[in-house]
Chains A and B, each alone.
Chain A
């Protein structure tokens, strides 16, 4: 995949620095409106795959042989997030080739990993450039990197820095040590709500056209409920995650779906039978989307997701089928 043609609008490369290891592209801590726009687009899933940074070594400010080295992924948002938090810190940035995927996801897959780090330490000639042999990795890269192996292969010692790049200055003040708060991944309201657009777009692309068709077929109430289920699963689940009942995401999605159907019901003129059938149809849809949010959450385990899916998937399918049969049955009568 090529760097897209808009690259120069961004603050990716601002010049070059001549060093003992050759010419090194330099970058800056400046964050422009074009960078902000790119981040916004990436969040909405627009051209997500195009936000690649060329892997390799970058200089930020005027780094020397004693300056620290920070590693990151070659995804624009990861790179920007690092450099904008290095204001006033002359440093080297080592961009690993993670195929445009952020640090955490790439570490999970192993592309932000021991071998890639070792390869890029060697290929960039980092050793010749520095008088020290240490490199700072974002802590979220740890699922892919075995620090002791990197040391054994290259002699470089890996220090895990804070989860959030904004804590880097404080981390350095503490003598390159993280505090317990810096190490903890959070999943607060803001962390969750910025994920809602991607969820909404991902499912909206199927549900919104379906709702439109329902509307054109004269099934206005169903069009509204379908959109409501989409909203429940993709927006209410992230927004109210800690308040929705249970620990299971499928259950949280179902609860959000039920609230939406219940809230909309005074507007729809359904008898009880119709209401029940609709509940059985739209709650599983919200539940399904809610369960998908496990993929964006920062605390769900694979064992847990497997466990809840074994129960949730058949339950969702059964409810949906029952609801549809109820409606079909009534037509036939």
Chain B
């Protein structure tokens, strides 16, 4: 129990005098750590979504990217500050020689709080929340805005496949989702059996497919490319295999595709109406 380390008086306060240059004081050093970690955090914020998210094919998908970047940039200084103070304390004020000791190091200073700092902390986090919220609400509003000349696609989930139909084109039914570029697509989603999650991954939107109700979600395509429709809600045995392929194609190619798949049932004007963006 007894230890010769049992020094009961705290060593001279490790804080240099107030007149010391800023960067040799703890606050100055923490500022530098904070700055470096913030920069790293912001770089991660740009790198991770850019390199890890798939190539997005819609306005909403682009908003996912922008939201992740913005929120990382907002969060990075806060996280860097917490890490900076926490780990600076560990490095600078760790009481060496006590790691194995049964005697505690001498007590630290009895700082029980600082109302100015607490209020500042609350104000900063409040401001960050307001920024996040305004951004989120604005994005939400633009994603829910109605667009003229949108294309309706009906989506039906069942264990364990997706069916897509194009009501404007004689209810043409397909197993893969082909969409024209530069067009707002309104998905009307339902299920034949249990709850599924309709998730066209590269369009950056999703909504559950529920039995006996129709849910809607819209996405505005803005880039050509292939995408995958996945199921995002556990739906039983072969949930893993519930996916479909999709593609965003030019309006001309879309018209051709409609013809190829349902030409007999469609009139030329039907196809022209469904496949053209205004």
B is bound to A: no
